[in-house]
Chains A and B, each alone.
Chain A
Amino acid sequence: MIKMKDIRKTYPNGVQALNGITIDIDLGEFVYLVGQSGAGKSTFIKIIFGDEKATSGDVQVAGHDVVNMKRKEVPYLRRDIGVVFQDFKLLPTMTVYENVAFALEVVEETPKNIRKRVMEVLDQVGLKNKARFIPDELSGGEQQRVAIARAIANYPKLLIADEPTGNLDPDTSWEIMRILEEINGAGTTVIMATHSKEIVNTIKRRVIAIEGGMIVRDQHRGDYGYES
């Protein structure tokens, strides 16, 4: 699913965010990405979905050669990847339904299929009855579920979640984790950056720890490993 070879990233201001990362992530894996703020987690994620370009090295994501990719090819990479953020990134003027349908309109799906698929994914995250609400009328956890529904609407092979529970209380966080596990169980690769020691230590999965732009630990069924 993801093959990275000696990825380095130096920002124009001279900051070396990644200093040679080599890693393989297989289809269907569930991976936690841990490390302190500024360790390079975000850059790692941004390189995977084409938001930043690596300075050197080689990255293959879902069959796309991300490093040598032209800018106009980036949208097609994004269609194979679902992304979820800490701040949900929902459009406040659109209803829940419209927010999810958006991702399908972009790939020019037929209206009939859009209707069907939107209700399907909303059902999957348990928000079928809130389709007509706008994001402000929902709780934080519900908003994140809408964001997840949007991210998986296109049947992505890879779901990236950048601190998806960062803004949520513990109970809601577990709910989000249950949904992510379900998605992973259906065969989708999930990469989740997190600061939650509790989650990582409870739901044991592969843990990749990044420090100073390098992988310092890659452990199956690993621990969080930091004091939080």
Chain B
Amino acid sequence: MYVTSIEVTTAMKARTFKRHIREGLKNTWRNSWMTLASVGAVTTTLILVGAFLVLLLNINHIAENLEEDVEIKVLVDLTASETETASVGDELERLDNVKSVTFSTREEELERLVSGLGDEGDIFGLQDQENPLNDAYIIKLDDPTETVTMAQEIVTFDYVEDVNYGENFVQNLFDFNAYARNIGLILIVALLFTAIFLISNTIKITIFARRKEIEIMQLVGATKWFIRWPFFVEGMLLGVLGSVIPIGALIGGYYYLDQNMSAVQQFDFITLLPFSPFVWQISGVIILIGVVIGVWGSVMSVRKFLKI
């Protein structure tokens, strides 16, 4: 007989749903001190998490830009014939991980060198002398972090005189990027755990104060979910409230940063992620994290008092 009544209540009535929301809001208001404490904990952590996210993603962005610029220049032997030069190009094309191969004749190389030197190039009169440069292939990689190993492989090819890729700079750059990413990630995960701990503790206190309420609800025949829902709503609300200040700080702070960074032109290789949509994406992430830790914290702590 009561199997059917279980099924009926699983599909929650709209009225009951409204009741849970109302009850959750009421509880948040009634326990205003605890609400304040929880929201404070969420706010603090989300500000830190937000700041780290912005920092980490921008470091990542800058690193990617720099990595994009990394290319390997393959210098072909001066004595190589035209067909031999072409065979080097074919060999390079066949490699995995190669995004593009561009051929540049020694004349083009000279031109580039001269134009790179600007006015001084004309003064040297380099064009008038015999061209000392090699034909070259410029290759870009799908995964730039493989640059060093690739370069070491390519240098062993026939008719390859040398490879240039700015050895030290590239290796240091990749090492730094990897460190920055890992440390940032560890910090964010650690922060999230701290936040969940703080929030579940605060909510545990609020629920502890309300264990009598839970006990009585169970006494009059409330199902587990009926008891849980208002706490669910409350946790969600705490998460949302706790993300208001961090999001405000993020939008304001990033706007300020964005305005001032673009004014500093000499560092044009350091470009921040554009204000929009970056800020909105991070705001979404912050709200989501807030809601998840709020709900998680409240569900964890209410479980302890749900004996039946």
Listed by A's residue number, 26 A-B pairs whose Cβ atoms lie within 8 Å are A71-B308, A72-B223, A73-B2, A73-B6, A74-B308, A75-B222, A75-B226, A75-B308, A76-B2, A76-B221, A78-B219, A78-B221, A79-B220, A79-B221, A83-B219, A89-B216, A91-B213, A91-B216, A102-B220, A106-B221, A107-B221, A108-B16, A111-B15, A150-B220, A154-B220, A154-B221
| Contact residues in B for A63 (Cβ distance below 8 Å) | 1
| Contact residues in A for B226 (Cβ distance below 8 Å) | 75, 106
Q: Are A89 and B1 in contact (CB under 8 A)?
A: no
- Ordered nearest first, which 5 A-B pairs have the shortest CB separation? A78-B221, A79-B221, A103-B220, A76-B2, A106-B222
Q: Are B219 and A76 in contact (CB under 8 A)?
A: no
By beta carbon, the residue of chain A nearest B3 is A73
Q: Are A91 and B212 in contact (CB under 8 A)?
A: yes
| Contact residues in B for A71 (Cβ distance below 8 Å) | 308
In the bound complex, how far is the Cα of B1 from the Cα of A79, in angstroms?
A: 13
- Tell me, rounded to whole Å, the shortest Cβ–Cβ distance linking A51 to chain B: 8
In the bound complex, how far is the Cα of B213 from the Cα of A73, in angstroms?
A: 20
In the bound complex, how far is the Cα of B119 from the Cα of A123, in angstroms?
A: 103
| Contact residues in B for A103 (Cβ distance below 8 Å) | 220-221
Contact with B along A53-67 (1 / 0, CB 8 A): 000000000011000
Tell me the A residues contacting B by CB distance below 8 Å.
50, 63-64, 71-79, 83, 89-91, 93, 102-103, 105-108, 110-111, 150, 154
In the bound complex, how far is the Cα of B1 from the Cα of A63, in angstroms?
A: 9
Interface membership of B94, Cβ < 8 A:
no
In the bound complex, how far is the Cα of B213 from the Cα of A108, in angstroms?
A: 18
By beta carbon, the residue of chain A nearest B306 is A71
In the bound complex, how far is the Cα of B219 from the Cα of A77, in angstroms?
A: 10
Known contacts A76-B2, A108-B13; 17 further A-B pairs (Cβ under 8 A): A71-B308, A72-B223, A74-B308, A75-B221, A75-B223, A75-B308, A76-B221, A77-B221, A91-B212, A93-B30, A102-B217, A102-B220, A106-B221, A106-B226, A110-B15, A150-B220, A154-B220
In the bound complex, how far is the Cα of B307 from the Cα of A75, in angstroms?
A: 12
Q: Chain B: interface residue count, which band?
A: 20 to 34
- Tell me, rounded to whole Å, the shortest Cβ–Cβ distance linking A78 to chain B: 4
Q: DSSP class of B's interface residues: helix, strand, loop or mixed?
A: helix
In the bound complex, how far is the Cα of B220 from the Cα of A185, in angstroms?
A: 23
Interface membership of B84, Cβ < 8 A:
no
Interface membership of B218, Cβ < 8 A:
yes
| Contact residues in A for B9 (Cβ distance below 8 Å) | 108
By beta carbon, the residue of chain B nearest A110 is B15
By beta carbon, the residue of chain A nearest B2 is A76
In the bound complex, how far is the Cα of B46 from the Cα of A11, in angstroms?
A: 46
Q: Are B218 and A75 in contact (CB under 8 A)?
A: yes
In the bound complex, how far is the Cα of B215 from the Cα of A63, in angstroms?
A: 24
Partner of A72 from B13, B15, B215, B224 at Cβ < 8 Å? B224
Q: Are B212 and A64 in contact (CB under 8 A)?
A: no
By beta carbon, the residue of chain A nearest B215 is A89
| Contact residues in A for B222 (Cβ distance below 8 Å) | 75, 106
Q: Are A89 and B219 in contact (CB under 8 A)?
A: yes
Contact with A along B213-237 (1 / 0, CB 8 A): 1011111111110100000000000
By beta carbon, the residue of chain B nearest A150 is B220
In the bound complex, how far is the Cα of B48 from the Cα of A57, in angstroms?
A: 58
Contact with A along B183-194 (1 / 0, CB 8 A): 000000000000
Contact with A along B85-110 (1 / 0, CB 8 A): 00000000000000000000000000
Q: Are A89 and B15 in contact (CB under 8 A)?
A: no
| Contact residues in A for B13 (Cβ distance below 8 Å) | 108
- Tell me, rounded to whole Å, the shortest Cβ–Cβ distance linking B217 to chain A: 6
Within 8 A of A (CB), among B1-49: 1-2, 5-6, 9, 13, 15-16, 19, 30
Partner of A76 from B5, B213, B215, B216 at Cβ < 8 Å? B5
| Contact residues in B for A64 (Cβ distance below 8 Å) | 2
- Tell me, rounded to whole Å, the shortest Cβ–Cβ distance linking B284 to chain A: 35
| Contact residues in B for A89 (Cβ distance below 8 Å) | 212, 215-216, 219
In the bound complex, how far is the Cα of B212 from the Cα of A103, in angstroms?
A: 14
| Contact residues in B for A154 (Cβ distance below 8 Å) | 220-221
| Contact residues in B for A77 (Cβ distance below 8 Å) | 221
- Tell me, rounded to whole Å, the shortest Cβ–Cβ distance linking B278 to chain A: 45
